[in-house]
Amino acid sequence: MRDRILFTDLDGTLLSHHDYRPGPARAAVERLQASGVAVIPVTSKTGAELGPIVAELGLRDGWVAENGAEIRWPGPAAPTVHGTPYDQVRAGLAAAAAAAEVTVRGFGDMSDAEVAALTGLTLSAARAARTRAYSESFVVLHGSVTALQGELRRRGLRAVRGGRFLTATGLHDKGTAVRAILARLLPATSWAVGDAPNDAPMLAAVAHPYQVRRPDGTWAQLDVAGVIRVDGVGPAGFVEVAERLLSQVMAG
Ligand SMILES: [Mg+2]
């Protein structure tokens, strides 16, 4: 295993919030990997979505899907699952919404075409986004998110906010998975980069946490000690973080 790991969020960080493309981040990923840095995506995306992205970017050191629910290790090791099965998450979300008098609409209630229209994903990418194993992404149409959070907690669930949606999950987060990877792979140092509140637990778990700007030019308010804000939006910010990491590698 590599001495250095960079954990990265995908949507709004390594990939553009608007077109889901890596842009300049693609070359940065290549340089990182050529310099012996493991780049591990840690995302709310599903395993079905990650397959083609990992292949396209040439990532080879594993991945984390659905906000920490599932870890795929490099090599033949069996996946590690922290997630709650999708049907259980859906049922718990429905019960919590009814108790909190909140109206929600989840990916399981939507067609591929509806998800594509909401996200700008292609139809096939929307289908992969709806192929969920451990979490449900949803919008709140009416009612209080705070009340919903309380009712979810009573049912052993929580909702985290990503770039576009809330996502209901079991009591794991991106940090759960990052800590498990660090404990098993024991890198000399760890970096992470993200853009949204669901990245905070991942950032808090590493030695060098970084935050990129959102498309509106602001940084999300994250309660993470020592987090460094870079100027670039999304992939441009990822490139800045990669350059800092590469200069550390060069310095030995
Ligand atoms: Mg993001």
Ligand 1 centre to CA of 10 (Å) is 6
Q: What is the per-residue pLDDT for 160?
A: 87
Residue ranges with strand state E in 152-200: 158-161, 166-169, 189-194
Q: Which helix or strand (DSSP H or E) is residue 25 part of?
A: helix 25-34
pLDDT number for residue 249: 87
Q: Ligand 1 centre and the CA of 115: distance in Å?
A: 17
Q: Please list the residues that pair with 139 across neighbouring strands.
A: 105
- pLDDT for 52 beyond 90: yes
Q: Can you state the percent helix, strand and coil of the chain, rounding each to 5? A: 40, 25, 35
Which of the four pLDDT bands, split at 50, 70 and 90, describes residue 1?
A: low
Distance (Å) from CA 244 to ligand 1 centroid: 20
Taking 80 as the threshold, does the pLDDT of residue 231 lie above it? yes
Give 6-37 pLDDT, tens digit per residue.
Answer: 999 999 999 999 888 999 999 999 999 999 99
The one-character DSSP state at 110 is S
Distance (angstroms) between ligand 1 centre and the Cα of 9 equals: 6
Domains annotated for the chain, with CATH where assigned, are 4-82+173-250 (3.40.50.1000), 86-169 (3.30.980.20)
Distance 196 CA to ligand 1 centre (A): 5
Q: What is the CA(252)–ligand 1 centre distance, in A?
A: 30
Inter-axis angle of helices 86-100 and 145-154, nearest 10? 130
How high does pLDDT run on average in the chain?
95
pTM of this structure = 0.91
**Residues 107, 93: contact at Cβ < 8 Å?**
no
pLDDT in tens, 194-219: 999 989 999 999 999 999 999 999 99
Q: How far is the CA of 195 from the centre of ligand 1 (A)?
A: 5
> What is the spatial distance between Cα 247 and Cα 42, in angstroms, rounded to a whole number?
23
Report CA(251)–ligand 1 centroid distance (Å): 30
Residues 6+ apart with CB under 8 A from 252: none
How many angstroms separate the alpha carbon of residue 194 from the centre of ligand 1? 6
